[in-house]
Structure 1
Amino acid sequence: MSVTPGTRPHPHLGAHFRLEIDGLGESDFSQCTGLGGEVGVEEYAEGGENRFTHRLPSRAGFANLVLKQGAGPGLGLWDWWGEFLAQGAVRPRDGQVHLLAWRDGELAPVRAWAFTRGWPVKMSGPDLDAQSAAVAVETMEIAHHGLRLLGLDG
């Protein structure tokens, strides 16, 4: 990103984002956590080297993606989760989470994370309360085999 002298780029707001899953289309969500990973560390104490212990990278690990959205008419994600209940197995799918920002009067992707071989491990319907006027929020949790940040043009 080039910066004009005297100006500083502002960080993107996390107010708009979209989940896209191969074969299931797109869904807008109000909250997403789990966009990160961690590399484990294995320590190796070399014989005769007493000043330090070697620290070596081991396996990478990724947290589940946890997504929350207002309950709407779309049932694609619920059907994907229901595959396991109906068949005893669920087909892993690749997908992306897009952070959207306003550009030229339209919401456009400014950052995207791709995950591979994801599958739903938990679905929660909204808490229903006739005394509340809050949005009915449902939650989906997706386990996956890896996450990477994609480069976007613009």
Structure 2
Amino acid sequence: MDGFGYPYVTASFRLRIDGMTMADFSECTGLASETGVEEYAEGGENRFTHRFPSRGSAPNLVLKRGATADRGLWDWYAEYARLGRVGPRDGQVQLLGTVAGETVPVRVWSFRRGWPVKISGPDLNAMSAAVALESVEIAHQGLALVAPPG
């Protein structure tokens, strides 16, 4: 093997909040981070514009899964309606893969001070045989790729 390895099969994601597993998901978007660019046109310099890094940003995380009996994410979201505030929490999105026959985190993204900004129940249609999907959208203050546990 050339050292690059094979890509992980993206079959399942796990959401952990404050060190506790909240739920497993089948879809996750928003694992991205971007650094803005500020341009400065220096007087007398017409060959190029100076470019400098500026404020960073990251999109909200959006996780989707088949609806279950678990209410943990709904209760977290409902804190705002009940208390008028929601406590931001640190968390992780873990890509699960099979290593030596066991399902373990193989890639981990950590986020700081996240809170749910949107939660959606499934679209209900008795004429469809589709899985009832629900989703949660989490705003946060930064994303980092970290080493998997173990």
Which residue identity is paired with 2:136?
Answer: M
1:83 aligns with 2:79: yes
Are 1:19 and 1:96, in contact at CA under 8 Å, matched by a contact in 2?
A: yes
Deviation at 1:105, TM superposition (A): 1.1
State the distance in 2 between where 1:90 and 1:153 align.
Answer: 28
Matches within 5 A, 1:57-136: 57-136=53-132
The answer to whether the 8 A contact 2:108-2:145 is kept is yes
- 2-side partners of 1:64 and 1:13: how far apart? 23
TM value normalised by structure 1? 0.92
Root-mean-square deviation (CA, aligned residues, Å) is 1.6
Q: Does the 8 A contact of 1:24 with 1:77 survive in 2?
A: no
Cα drift, residue 24 of structure 1: 5.4
Matching residue's letter, 1:62: A
Contact persistence 2:97–2:103 (CA under 8 A): yes
The whole-number CA distance in structure 2 between the counterparts of 1:51 and 1:130 is: 64
Give structure 1 stretches of 5+ with no counterpart.
none
How high is the sequence identity, in percent, across the aligned residues? 61
Residue 25 of structure 1 and its aligned partner are, at CA, apart by 3.0
Deviations 1:11-56 (A, max 9, x none): 1111121110117533100100000011000000111211110000
CA distance in 1, matches of 2:133, 2:96: 21
Q: When the two structures are superposed, what TM-score results if normalisation uses the length of structure 2?
A: 0.94
| SS of equivalent residue, structure 1 residue 97 | strand
Q: What secondary structure, in the 3-state scheme, does the structure 2 residue paired with 1:68 have? A: strand
Taking the aligned partners of 1:86 and 1:23, their CA distance within structure 2 comes to 24
| Structure 2 portions without partners, runs of 5+ | none
- Which runs of structure 1 show a deviation greater than 6 angstroms over 4 or more consecutive aligned residues? none
